[in-house]
Structure 1
Amino acid sequence: MPAISQSVTLLAHTPDALSLIYAAFRQCYHPGDVADLWPRLLAGEVAPQKQADFVGRILASGHESPIEHVSFSFAVAGVSRALTHQLVRHRLASYSQQSQRYVDAAGFDYVLPPAIAAIPEARECFEAAMERAGAAYAELQEILTRHGRGAKANEDARFVLPNACETKIVVTMNCRSLLHFFELRCCLRAQWEIRALALAMLGLCRQALPVIFDRAGARCERLGYCPEEERFSCGRFPRLAEIPRSSV
């Protein structure tokens, strides 16, 4: 039952992503049918930099809906059930998570919070709790199997598993949902584990589609000020109320 580290892999994204976004934007302002333009885009007749410049200008005006046509899919492992409970609150997304009903969790790996790892007595207490949970799970499996639950023993024994229990999940979001996810979860006030996930995903997105994600991140980075109330601000950026009106 070792502590485990997070890993994030970009499985796939919509093919010809930049050209698709460019075509979608162009359709909004073009009297013709962009289906006629599409073969030229695939043939490279419109330079990628020209496409990127056009998309960047329109995005800067606040028009974002066409980027919803492109999606990214990630394989995430080495994360806790505490993280995925937060992750699935982002509704405009698709999730496929490892099942604790069908996957035997005996000897489960777990996520060890850095704050706990840094304090020897806290780490000792935490690791002992993981051992107790693992032992209780195995004992319940045995008892339930002996009483006829058979293959269904896991689905009842799992009730003693902790939030720290490691899980794996496949996540798919469109670009617009990803931008919103990054605004909230790259913030310094986001919990450390989901912030690490968001930053890893953002790095992969920036490599794949920089015109959309180069300026993505916490909301304060885009706005230049913190939109939170004073008690929720980390202090990295001034709050809007603290900025002189002439500067806004």
Structure 2
Amino acid sequence: MGAKVKLINYTPNPERTVAAAARLCYSPTGAESLLDSMDRNDIERLLGIILGNGHLSTLEHISFTFAVEGISRVASHQLVRHRIASYSQQSQRYVKEKGQFEYIVPKKIKEDKEMVKLFKENMKKQQKVYDELTAKLMDSGYKEKEAIEAARYVLPNATETKIVISMNGRSLLHFFELRCCERAQREIRDMAKKMLRQVREVAPIIFKKAGPLCETERRCKEGKLSCGRLAKIKVGK
């Protein structure tokens, strides 16, 4: 199943907003009248120009917010490397892991029953240690929040997390270029593809050609680290 991704908010009429901002740069008319005067053809033409020329600063006027569940702390650590964004992540300081904490099993491990068994046994051990540390700390006089704040250090990167993400349009294009690439780690790549499908529904022109460079520009800047997909695309495979 993978990550659960939902676009929960975005700038109203994002493509009209971007087009109006672009036109304002070269027009004596105010922004409000520009919004009223543009028809769909005007919007498509202006977006075609700015996207084609790489003049993407006007995309910073629009924002998209996603609620994401079912990703690991491994994926969230990669996600927050995208600095021009805002994040609100479920806190392990305030949210106690009760019973067995949720965790993500990597696909490579899922392919082998013995590895899955070993992985799950370790998750149970981690929960047990977490519970024991929490109880001992509370017995020592610490409040629950203080106890779980310390005990969380034993929780693994596989621990499931929830996060709200907001990015502007320009940052999202860059995010999709990097994270929809085959070289991106599978978990964050699957999440990025789900995000892309949803923003295409509300801003189809802006995100029509979003994605890895091998698809959008028939080039790759990974050099010797390239996955080789570009060569297959060029020969139509």
Unmatched 5+ stretches in structure 2: 233-237
Distance in 1 between the 2:7 and 2:28 partners? 36
Q: Is the 8 A contact 1:83 1:193 kept in 2?
A: yes
Q: Is the 8 A contact 1:225 1:238 kept in 2?
A: no
Instruction: Give 1:177's match in structure 2, choosing from 171, 190, 201.
Output: 171
Instruction: Give the alignment of 1:1-248 within 5 angstroms.
Output: 5-38=2-35, 40=36, 46-106=38-98, 107-151=100-144, 152-230=146-224, 232-238=225-231
Shift of 1:103: 0.3
Shift of 1:100: 0.1
Q: Is the 8 A contact 2:200 2:207 kept in 1?
A: yes
Aligned residue identity for 2:135: E
Distance in 2 between the 1:206 and 1:33 partners? 29
Shift of 1:173: 0.2
Shift of 1:34: 2.2
The SS at the match of 1:36 is helix
Unmatched 5+ stretches in structure 1: 240-248
The SS at the match of 2:88 is strand
| Larger mean Cα displacement after TM superposition, 6-15 or 23-32 | 23-32
After TM superposition, the runs of 4+ consecutive aligned structure 1 residues lying more than 2 A away are 31-38, 45-50
Identity of aligned residues (%): 47
| Larger mean Cα displacement after TM superposition, 127-136 or 217-226 | 217-226
Q: Is the 8 A contact 2:72 2:161 kept in 1?
A: yes
Shift of 1:229: 1.6
| Larger mean Cα displacement after TM superposition, 193-202 or 29-38 | 29-38
Q: What's the Cα RMSD here?
A: 1.6
Distance in 1 between the 2:182 and 2:34 partners? 43
- Paired residue total: 231
Distance in 1 between the 2:3 and 2:152 partners? 22
Aligned residue identity for 1:114: K
The SS at the match of 1:157 is helix
Partner of residue 244, structure 1:
none
